[in-house]
């Protein structure tokens, strides 16, 4: 994960950067907004921009939008007043991080934004066969199409292929086609020339050029607009791209990997995905089996995540107890590896004994077959007739009770931002729902101004 920090380089900022770097982030610093924008235009990309709350956050967000640069902005402040934190979020920042830094809060921020930059851990024969095939594909130059349900680890597999390829010394650049609005995606991929549109004050290098000499991952490619699919097809065929507003093509040297959680053949039949592009992408194909079809991976992944999150949060390492593992093995894991990862993060924070016991395993409500591969049982009676909103509300309130009211821990456990959690709690309070009061360990001054 690449973090771009913008603002004065004080002691607290240096300390926060060191913590982020210790969590695996690649951190660089720029003193002013203009210098940061110049970095981004030249293809020195980032996954997160941390901006000093004393800067004009609103202007920064507007500049990014005007230049069609897709990048989440998080504000930070040194002993900042709650009013400043609220103003930064209203100006467009996704979150606010108080300084001096709390290692656990920085770790949670990095973990929530790091995506699938994880190790490929597996012992199940079904997944081992896929890994063996990926090793064979890695040295080739042909495009790879990775399919599988959400949360199965498609980006992890893409990074694995890159690491074992002849391009491993080059950049690995990932673009989530589902997360970027259609009106921004073209510039994000292909870049643009100065004056190409209102707000294009300078030339901007896109992800194709940023990935030159390495690998470009197009995540969830079926979400791409058909107009862009045609431009992508030409880029793959000709190995050259046209910047928006450009007058001549630009040669690129990349290996392309695409992922999708949908059946692309059905998408072609439905007319939402180009058939010629499908065949260009699917030269080498990999399908990742869902977690429920590789049961031997559940225990090894649970232990792996428990160990990682204990270190990440500065907590003693605890292994899952036999009773906890039994619960994990019975769960259907509709969210696959990502759901298991979130579950073990919660468990590490909630565990109190020498092991992670079943009381620390909070599983999302779902159908729950008695054994993996068995026919799912009917919904529990407590869920029949209830809305998703009601189930979500109870899960949030129960998680807050488990964390003794600690909002930061609860948001981390639930896999949502602290801002989303506060908005939910405000809504519940307005509906007359009893909200657990904030715990004494709640991290962040911004929380003090919130009644929820």
pLDDT digits 0-9 by tens, 109-126: 666 555 545 678 999 999
Q: Which residues of 87-97 are buried (b: 16+ CB within 10 A; e: fewer)?
A: bbbebbbbbbb
Arithmetic mean of pLDDT, 354-383? 58
The Cα 128–Cα 158 span in angstroms is: 15
What are the domain boundaries of the chain? 2-113, 125-287, 292-449
Per the model's pLDDT, the better-predicted residue between 148 and 312 turns out to be: 148
Q: Quick one: pLDDT band at residue 377, thresholds 50, 70, 90?
A: very low
Q: What integer is the mean pLDDT of 10-14?
A: 87
Task: Please state, rounded to an integer, the average pLDDT across all residues of the chain.
Answer: 85
Q: Is 292-449 in the same CATH topology as 2-113?
A: no
User: Residue 176 belongs to what H/E stretch?
Assistant: strand 172-176
Q: Which of 8-12, 360-364, 370-374 has the lowest mean pLDDT?
A: 370-374
Give tens-digit pLDDT for 257-296. 999 998 899 999 999 999 999 999 999 999 999 999 999 9
- Is the model more confident about 368 or about 250? 250
Asked if the model's pLDDT at residue 438 lies above 80, the reply is no
Taking 70 as the threshold, does the pLDDT of residue 74 lie above it? Answer: yes
Regarding the domain with residue range 2-113, which homologous superfamily does it belong to in the CATH classification? Response regulator (3.40.50.2300)
Q: Which pLDDT does position 447 carry in this prediction?
A: 37
Q: CA–CA separation, 192 vs 245, rounded Å?
A: 6
Would the pLDDT of 102 be above 80? Answer: no
Helices 407-414, 388-402: crossing angle, 10 deg rounding: 130
CATH 3.40.50.880 holds for 292-449: no
- Residue 312: its pLDDT value, please? 73
Alpha helical stretches, state H, 331-441: 336-350, 388-402, 407-414, 418-430
**Confidence at residue 279, expressed as pLDDT on a 0 to 100 scale:** 94
Q: What is the pTM of this model?
A: 0.72
Distances (CA, A) of 65 to 35, 59, 144, 198: 17, 10, 32, 11
Lowest-confidence region among 160-174, 216-230, 383-397:
383-397
For residues 212-221, average pLDDT: 95
Residue of higher predicted confidence among 25 and 29: 29
How many Cβ atoms sit within 10 Å of the Cβ of residue 140?
14
pLDDT of residue 289: 96
Q: Which of the 8 DSSP states describes residue 321?
A: P
Per-residue pLDDT of 400-429, as tens digits, reads 877 777 787 778 678 787 778 888 898 888
- Is the preceding peptide bond at 100 cis, omega within 30 degrees of 0? yes
Q: Tens digit of pLDDT for each residue in 139-185? A: 999 999 999 998 899 999 999 999 999 999 999 999 999 888 888 89
Q: Is the pLDDT of residue 333 over 90?
A: yes
Contact residues for 9 (Cβ-Cβ < 8 A; gap 6+)? 29, 31
Q: May I ask the CATH architecture of the domain 125-287?
A: 3-Layer(aba) Sandwich (3.40)
Nearest to 181 by CA among 36, 305, 71, 28: 71
Q: Quick check: helix, strand or coil at residue 399?
A: helix
């Amino acid at each position: 994960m690449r973090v771009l920090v913008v603002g004065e380089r004080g002691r607290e900022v240096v300390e926060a950067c060191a913590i982020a770097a210790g969590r695996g982030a690649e951190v660089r610093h720029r003193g002013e907004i203009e210098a940061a924008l110049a970095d981004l235009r030249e293809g020195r990309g980032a996954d997160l921009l941390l901006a000093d709350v004393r800067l004009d956050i609103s202007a920064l967000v507007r500049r990014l939008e005007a230049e069609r640069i897709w990048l989440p902005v998080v504000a930070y402040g040194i002993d900042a007043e709650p009013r400043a934190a609220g103003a930064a979020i209203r100006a467009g920042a996704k979150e606010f991080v108080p300084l001096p830094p709390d290692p656990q809060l920085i770790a949670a921020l990095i973990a929530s934004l790091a995506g699938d930059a994880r190790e490929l851990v597996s012992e199940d024969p079904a997944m081992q066969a896929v890994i063996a095939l990926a090793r064979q594909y890695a040295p080739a130059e042909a495009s790879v199409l990775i399919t599988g349900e959400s949360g199965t680890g498609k980006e992890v597999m893409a990074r694995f292929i890159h690491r074992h390829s002849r391009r491993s010394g080059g950049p690995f650049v990932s673009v989530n086609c589902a997360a970027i609005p259609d009106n921004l995606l073209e510039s994000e991929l292909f870049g643009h020339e100065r004056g190409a549109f209102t707000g294009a004050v300078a030339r901007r290098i896109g992800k194709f050029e940023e990935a030159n000499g390495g690998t470009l991952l197009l995540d969830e490619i079926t979400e791409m607009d058909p107009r862009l699919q045609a431009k992508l097809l030409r880029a793959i065929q000709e190995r050259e791209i046209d910047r928006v507003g450009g007058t001549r093509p630009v040669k690129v040297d990349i290996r392309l990997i695409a992922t999708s959680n949908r059946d692309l053949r059905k998408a072609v039949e439905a007319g939402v995905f180009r058939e010629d592009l499908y065949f260009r992408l699917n030269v080498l194909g990999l399908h990742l089996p869902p977690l429920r079809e590789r049961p031997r991976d559940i225990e090894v992944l649970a232990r792996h995540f428990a160990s990682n999150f204990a270190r990440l949060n500065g907590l003693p390492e605890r292994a899952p107890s036999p009773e906890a593992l039994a619960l994990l093995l019975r769960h259907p894991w509709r969210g696959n590896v990502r759901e298991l990862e979130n579950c073990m993060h919660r468990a590490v924070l909630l565990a109190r004994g020498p092991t992670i016991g079943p009381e620390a395993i909070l599983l999302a409500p779902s159908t729950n077959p008695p054994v993996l591969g068995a026919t799912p049982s009917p919904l529990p009676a407590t869920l029949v007739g209830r809305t998703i909103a009601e189930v979500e509300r109870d899960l949030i309130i129960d998680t807050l009770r488990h964390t003794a009211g600690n909002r930061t821990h609860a948001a981390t456990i639930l896999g949502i931002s602290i801002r989303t959690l506060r908005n939910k709690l405000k809504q519940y309070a307005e509906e007359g729902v009893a909200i657990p009061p904030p715990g004494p360990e709640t991290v962040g001054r911004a929380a003090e101004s919130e009644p929820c």
